[in-house]
Amino acid sequence: ETGVTQTPRHLVMGMTNKKSLKCEQHLGHNAMYWYKQSAKKPLELMFVYNFKEQTENNSVPSRFSPECPNSSHLFLHLHTLQPEDSALYLCASSQGQSSPYNEQFFGPGTRLTVL
């Protein structure tokens, strides 16, 4: 509905697994974002990409590895996660970063549980 899709919607993984989250936007936007929303905590910005280039890494642990092959696709590769990484991971996109009032459109999120 919002033009931003995420897969999978739910993911359960062990601490030794490797998995990837996928985000795709169909809005013709140039900027894409990864956010983490943990229970009872505000959304936290993780990474920002603008025209495929990473412009922000908000001190995210290296067990989270983003990839942006083009302006429409964004991945978050996960490996050796911890139980405290269990959260809702939201992808968003916006027209760009030139205006502070560019609306960000969110995908439905991937609910991740790390056992």
Q: Which residues bind another protein (CB under 8 A)?
A: 2, 31, 33, 40-45, 48, 55-56, 90, 94, 96-109
CB of 10 to another protein, least distance (A): 11
- What pairs with residue 96 in β-bridges? none
Alpha-carbon distance 96 to 3, whole Å? 16
Beta pairing class for 10-13 and 110-114: parallel
Please identify, using beta-carbon distances, which residue of 17 and 44 lies nearer to another protein.
44
Question: Which stretch of DSSP H or E encloses residue 94?
Answer: strand 87-94
Alpha-carbon distance 27 to 29, whole Å? 5
CB of 30 to another protein, least distance (A): 11
Please identify, using beta-carbon distances, which residue of 22 and 79 lies nearer to another protein.
22
CB of 63 to another protein, least distance (A): 22
Alpha-carbon distance 8 to 61, whole Å? 22
Please identify, using beta-carbon distances, which residue of 20 and 37 lies nearer to another protein.
37
